[in-house]
Amino acid sequence: MRTITLTDAIREAIEEEMRVDPSVFVVGQDVRGAIFPHTKGLVDEFGTDRIVDTPIAESGMYGVAFGAAQEGMRPICDFMFGGFSYVTFSECSVTTGQYHFLHGSQHALPLVITAGVGTGQRLANDHAMSIHGTFAHHPGIKVAMPSTPYDAKGMFKAAIRDNNPVVIPWHMGIMMLKGEVPDLGDDYIVPLGVADVKRVGSDVTVLANSLQLQHALGVAEKLAPEISVEVIDPRSFVPFDMETLLVSLEKTNRLVIVDEDWESGGFAATISARVVEQAFDLLDAPILRVTLPNMPVPGGYMEEYVAPNPERIEAAIRAVCA
Amino acid sequence: MALNIDQKKLLMTNLIRADEFNRMMYRRMMQGKLIGFYHPAEGAIAPGVAASSFLNKDDNLSPHHRGHGITHMLSKGIDIKYYLAEHTGKVTGCCAGRSAFHFSFPEHKVYMMSGFIGYNFAPAVGWGFAAKQRALGQVVMNCSGDGSYGQGRSHEALLMAQNWKLPIIFFCENNGMSIFSTAMEMHPKPNISSLADGYGMPSAIVDGQNVFEVAEVCIEAIERARTGGGPTFIEAKTLRFNEHDIGTPDLSGWEERSAEEHAEMRDREPVAIATVIALDEGWLTAADIEAMREAALREIEGVEAFADDSEIARPSVESLMQGVFAE
């Protein structure tokens, strides 16, 4: 095992997959020069034919990925910031999600959409919004987000090898988070659709991902003397591992969902509804959600108390356990 | 590049087929035997035939939506019976009866009809990128109308195709109309192909009512793309004889198109123009042309029988769910 950062883990996944599969390439804007560290140095090994910079033309840029995927290549389309994918969102969501199904499930569309997302940089809405919930709303697209370097490397590899469109943003708030990953040469994947119990507990289940998972783990540690918190990282939103969540609820009977997305129509709402539909009898308390309030994400110093944070997570845990 | 007799005969055959297929689709729409809508192609079939008749099977083609791409697809060698079955909601349809008017023939590299106008441009860049990357000599025939050049996506595609010298033919079938609006008022210059000048892309304007003239320019552009010469913009000036889609009024702006405009258009009917040329040059007789039409009608009988005899697709929700993701 070695200790590396989340973005280094993503870069290792990309470069290892590119070495074994010549159809994998990266297309984005300034990915050669590496606006973010996960594409740093890739151009030196793979050249400009496979680390491809486009003009500031998101539709055309995504078109390179979409069309090349139809041609059987395995593109990774890097939008820099997640919000930028909305510049060409109709293609990313509608055209992409429907392509396989609407045409009789005869032709796969293997591509990866990635971007930095999330709060923590005080950049405000268009540079800070999450995209996982919105993409998860559109059928035909897999959606996942890693929370640790180990998961990042394994999930990016799984996404690149998947025969479907996979949206896999990474959270800017944990880009320099360090963690253990297997030695170079030890190939592994983390399959999409498998949640991970990051901390075992018995009083309450907290579902949290990415930066919010780090917050949840911190709160769980702090509360350990009084409340035993089980923390589950969904890792994938589509497909979602309901089984792992229900097994946990059989034990804890209480659920807090932390989601760095808006309250209204967000992913936390979907999971909350599913739990009520499928496992109402398991619940001893109402499900509480810790989400972004329904306002555009403000930048500046107010971001830290508007966005989900350890204080709000702790309050929710105490409320469901009261 | 002068066409040889075989090429001319192929164009004449496909033109007559396109003409008869369009009549069939029009008739079926009026009979209530098509799902959705139909955008009739009468008057506008020559460009698609010319652009698609000399493509290889592994060349990418994105058809114009007028005539629902049938003109283009039959010219590329696609059996239209699977599309008619789709358009009638049958299990034998090219998309298993799920897609209404959309089509997909991946094995012929006709991947999709975009439901949004102009959404072919960006994927076309991807097809061209893949073709160039793999150096297999494929070309991309990207067909669309004058209206689609309002989409920013078209400009992004021109930019990137020219930057990277991709093997793409931007084939603009300019019939001067997008639904009711005229190209004259929606574009600042009379020729859409003048856009290509801004990107330094070679371009040509051709008479879209003369299938042979269009084909000569297309063959040249295909050859240039195939041999690494990069993209070409071709603007075929064509006409739309009917309303935009069956059932909408036939307006220009907000007023009926005039009888004079219609009479003038009808003088430029592409099959009639091709027939005069063929008979004048003497490489077909009237009987040959009649035989072509008979063959087209027989083909269409078979296509309709296939669609009509097929079962309606009514799969269970559970089985449909199995098809949302690829394995």
Q: What are phi and psi of B61, to 5 degrees?
A: -135, 130
Query: Which member of A38, A100, A107, A127 is catalytic?
Result: A127
Q: Are A76 and A119 in contact (CB under 8 A)?
A: no
pLDDT score for B136? 86
The structure tokens listed for A258 are: 């932390």
* Whole-structure pTM value: 0.97
C-alpha B170/C-alpha B149 separation (Å) is 11
Among candidates A59, A68, A106 on the partner chain, residue whose Cβ is nearest the Cβ of B130 = A68
pLDDT score for B164? 98
Q: Judge: B130–A102 Cβ closer than 8 Å, yes or no.
A: no
Among candidates B96, B116, B160 on the partner chain, residue whose Cβ is nearest the Cβ of A60 = B160
C-alpha B289/C-alpha B275 separation (Å) is 8
- Identify the sign of the CA torsion B241, B246, B251, B252: negative
User: Interface pTM (ipTM) of the complex?
Assistant: 0.96
Beta-sheet pairing, B60-62 with A204-207 = unpaired
C-alpha A207/C-alpha A216 separation (Å) is 8
Q: Judge: B325–A107 Cβ closer than 8 Å, yes or no.
A: no
Name the minimum distance, in Å, from the CA of A82 to any CA of chain B: 20
Pick the residue from chain B with its C-alpha nearest to A164: B326
DSSP letter (8 states) at residue B317: H
Name the minimum distance, in Å, from the CA of B188 to any CA of chain A: 23
pLDDT score for A91? 97
C-alpha B172/C-alpha B145 separation (Å) is 5
Closest by Cα among A111, A88, A87 to A99: A111
Tell me, yes or no, if A127 is annotated catalytic.
Answer: yes
**A25 interaction partners in chain B (CB closer than 8 Å):** 133
Among candidates A70, A88, A164 on the partner chain, residue whose Cβ is nearest the Cβ of B326 = A164
Q: Judge: A103–B126 Cβ closer than 8 Å, yes or no.
A: no
pLDDT score for A2? 97
Closest by Cα among B275, B211, B265, B303 to B23: B303
pLDDT score for B96? 98
What string of pLDDT tens digits covers the 327 residues of chain B? 699 999 999 999 999 999 999 999 999 999 999 999 999 999 999 999 999 999 999 999 999 999 999 999 999 999 999 999 999 999 999 999 999 999 999 999 999 997 899 999 999 999 999 999 998 899 999 999 999 999 999 999 999 999 999 999 999 999 999 999 999 999 999 999 999 999 999 999 999 999 999 999 999 999 999 999 999 999 999 999 999 999 999 999 999 999 999 999 999 999 999 999 999 999 999 999 999 999 999 999 999 999 999 999 999 999 999 999 999
Among candidates A67, A101, A103 on the partner chain, residue whose Cβ is nearest the Cβ of B126 = A67
The structure tokens listed for A52 are: 């491809």
Band of the pLDDT at A278, cuts 50, 70, 90? Answer: very high
Residue listed under structure tokens 């090429």: B7
pLDDT cut 90: percent of chain A above it: 99
Within A200-285, strands assigned E span 204-207, 229-233, 236-238, 255-262
Name the minimum distance, in Å, from the CA of B157 to any CA of chain A: 6
pLDDT score for B320? 98
Q: Judge: A64–B125 Cβ closer than 8 Å, yes or no.
A: yes
**B119 interaction partners in chain A (CB closer than 8 Å):** 90-91, 95
Q: Judge: B119–A69 Cβ closer than 8 Å, yes or no.
A: no
Name the minimum distance, in Å, from the CA of A108 to any CA of chain B: 6
Q: Which helix (H) or strand (E) holds A297?
A: none
**A163 interaction partners in chain B (CB closer than 8 Å):** 326-327
pLDDT in tens, A133-184: 999 999 999 999 999 999 999 999 999 999 999 999 999 999 999 999 999 9
- What are the DSSP calls for B61-79, one per residue? EE--TGGGGHHHHHHTT--
pLDDT score for A144? 98
Q: Are B156 and B122 in contact (CB under 8 A)?
A: yes
**B152 interaction partners in chain A (CB closer than 8 Å):** 59
Q: Judge: A103–B98 Cβ closer than 8 Å, yes or no.
A: yes
Query: What are the residues facing A167 on neighbouring strands?
Result: A113, A143
Pick the residue from chain B with its C-alpha nearest to A101: B324
Q: Judge: A67–B114 Cβ closer than 8 Å, yes or no.
A: no
Q: Judge: B133–A49 Cβ closer than 8 Å, yes or no.
A: yes
pLDDT score for B228? 96
pLDDT score for B115? 84
Exposure b/e, A235-256, CB count within 10 A at least 16 = b: bbbbebbeebbeebbebbbbbb
pLDDT in tens, A192-203: 999 999 999 999
Q: Judge: B119–A164 Cβ closer than 8 Å, yes or no.
A: no
pLDDT score for A244? 98
Q: Are A305 and A211 in contact (CB under 8 A)?
A: no
Name the minimum distance, in Å, from the CA of A119 to any CA of chain B: 31
